[in-house]
Amino acid sequence: MSELKYKLLALDMDGTLLNDNHEITQETAKWIQIAIRRGVHVCLSTGRAVFHAMPYAVQLGLETPMVTVNGSEVWKAPHDLHIRHLMDPALIRTMQEIGEKYNSWYWAYSVEELFNRERWTDNIEGLEWLKFGFNTEVDEVRHQIMMELQQLGGLQMTNSSPVNIEINPAGISKASGVAEVCKLLGIEMSEVVAVGDSLNDLAVIEAVGLGVAMGNAQEQVKEAADLVVASNNEDGIVEVIREHILKGE
């Protein structure tokens, strides 16, 4: 059996690993197990916080590193934190004020929990913050919020759907997270396959050996990818593993 060209499969969750019912299909789970048995590391690379990603890692039996909150956290293994990048609470307060100003839905991950516009906190300075997000269907409002965020500076802005904005500290992305995972595993970024569907996947898709966009991906992501596969409802991940990682095995 020849040595595999790709040693790490970094998987976005929503819109990629998970179908529209937020489930991992049996077929996808089966092929992930086949890849693991062949020696491929499988890493979740998600905008979700660890407490929202962990049940899926457990379901797949993953003991490998994990990238959460768009790279703000990297885990050596489940429950074993490697690195964490926090946001300035003053920025969180400013972004909350922007959300109120534009009457936009907003949410934020602290290390401990998820807050949103309806369930906010008076203790912004007392918490450790990882990510902030806005969600609005109105393009013009989203544009105005983006303009204000750009003026603040020091922020990494992406999305996980066409109607939201996700904000991390500058320079922090799934690409920086997966680069940390590579260091932990002693492999190169050129030996990584990264799969995703949204702008928060763009940096890592461009940075790795094989960048893959799902069939349901945003157009910009498809354009940047080396490869476009079937959608998240059609087991696109199976195609990646079978045709591009284990092909010729």
pLDDT at residue 18 tops 90: yes
Model pTM score: 0.94
44-55 pLDDT, tens digit per residue, is 999 999 999 999
Catalytic residue numbers read 12
82-124 pLDDT, tens digit per residue, is 999 999 999 999 999 999 999 999 999 999 999 999 999 999 9
138-195 pLDDT, tens digit per residue, is 999 999 999 999 999 889 999 998 999 999 999 999 999 999 999 999 999 999 999 9
Sign of CA dihedral 139, 145, 150, 154: negative
pLDDT score at 78: 82
Task: Report the DSSP beta bridge partners of residue 84.
Answer: 73
- 79, 57 contact by CB (below 8 A): no
Sorted by where each starts, the structural domains of the chain and their CATH numbers stand as: 8-84+173-245 (3.40.50.1000), 89-169 (3.30.1240.10)
* Strand, coil or helix: 235: coil
* Strand, coil or helix: 183: helix
pLDDT at residue 1 tops 60: no
Nearest C-alpha neighbor of 200 from the set 173, 182, 222: 173
